[in-house]
Amino acid sequence: MSRNPTTRSIRLRRSVLSVPAINPRALEKTHAVDCDAVIFDLEDSVAPEKKAEARENLRNFFSARPLQGKERIIRINSLSTDFGLADMELVTALCPDAVLLPKVDEPQDVMALSDLLSEADAPEDLRIWAMIETPRGILNAAVIAEAGRTPGSRLDCLVVGLNDLRKETGVLPQSGRSYLVPWLMQVVLAVSAYGLDAIDSVFNDFRNEQGFDAECLQGRAMGFAGKMLIHPAQIEPANRHFGPDPAAIAEAEAIISAFADPASDGLNVINAGGRMVERLHLVQAESLVHKAHLIAARQAAARKTM
């Protein structure tokens, strides 16, 4: 049976900020920003001769003080390299919330990483995120997502990487991403089938606010849970666009109340506010309201620390 919001923990992943582990000042700033998750990058943003220094930066950062209220993900280098194997030693020592595996082409990539984590006695709640950024990764999105159902798999989320995908396919970086939409939807369909999350790709021109807003609206309409970000200025609009709006929250609360009515006992379809609502809508409503509560709780915690 595939996982769904009722069988796995619901997390906020509206804004997923990528931070180069080679930059101590950028690492320190993650304490103050309002993103839902932070990817500590040891891969593309770190030159080969700086990999060891970046790992040491992360070791110091994790030991200094915990990152409160945000999901912590470490993006490692390919496991086919010495860099990747050294990164995994760091991951098992630091125990972040997840490890992000780059350039996942097939489910065996995910299972190999799951096996490594299990062999290292990593906590079961240390999850795997998979970067889907190659033609083979897109073609195999469904079977990669299905790996999340395999016993022992830790797969929790797929992240689309369009920069590498454009480079390998020759698709130009045009506004609207019209030639990329079928591939993006393939990833969304795959995670939806197996109860995972999908994170939309980065928007490179962080000064182009209008273009970023448009891409967030597009990604939300497609069904992405959130967006990978490259600059703190992108956090607020990502949170706004991928978060539940007040009207949607009110509608969800009305659906929950309608099904809580004793008159609805045993019914799979009810009349709620003049429209027919099924129990599948109740599951969606509960998930949305839970996310709204998570957002409110984090905002309240942030106000207390100010």
What are the 10-residue block averages of pLDDT along the chain, 306 residues in total? 47 96 97 96 97 98 90 97 96 96 97 95 95 98 94 94 96 94 98 96 95 97 97 97 90 87 83 80 86 84 65
The whole-number pLDDT of residue 285 equals 87
DSSP code, position 234: G
The whole-number pLDDT of residue 69 equals 86
The whole-number pLDDT of residue 184 equals 98
| Residue 273 near residue 250 (C-beta atoms within 8 A) | no
Task: Please classify residue 104 by burial: count the beta carbons closer than 10 Å to its beta carbon, then call 0-12 exposed, 13-18 middle and 19+ buried.
Answer: buried
SS3 75: strand
Burial string for 230-268 (b: 16+ CB within 10 Å, else e) reads bebebbebbbebbbbeeeebebbeebbebbeeeebeeee
The whole-number pLDDT of residue 306 equals 54
In the chain, the amino acid numbered 78 is: S
The whole-number pLDDT of residue 35 equals 96
The torsion angles phi and psi of 74, rounded to 5 degrees, stand at: -105, 120
Contacts of 188 (CB under 8 A, 6+ apart): 198, 222, 223, 224
CA–CA distances in Å: residue 142 to residues 6, 11, 160, 195, 200 = 21, 22, 14, 12, 16
75 is in an annotated binding site: yes
- CATH number for the domain whose boundaries are 15-242: 3.20.20.60
CA–CA distances in Å: residue 22 to residues 46, 47, 67, 90, 126 = 6, 9, 17, 15, 23
Strands (E), 21-60: 37-41
The whole-number pLDDT of residue 8 equals 57
164 is in an annotated binding site: yes
- Domain range summary for the chain, segments of one domain joined by +: 15-242, 246-305
265 is in an annotated binding site: no
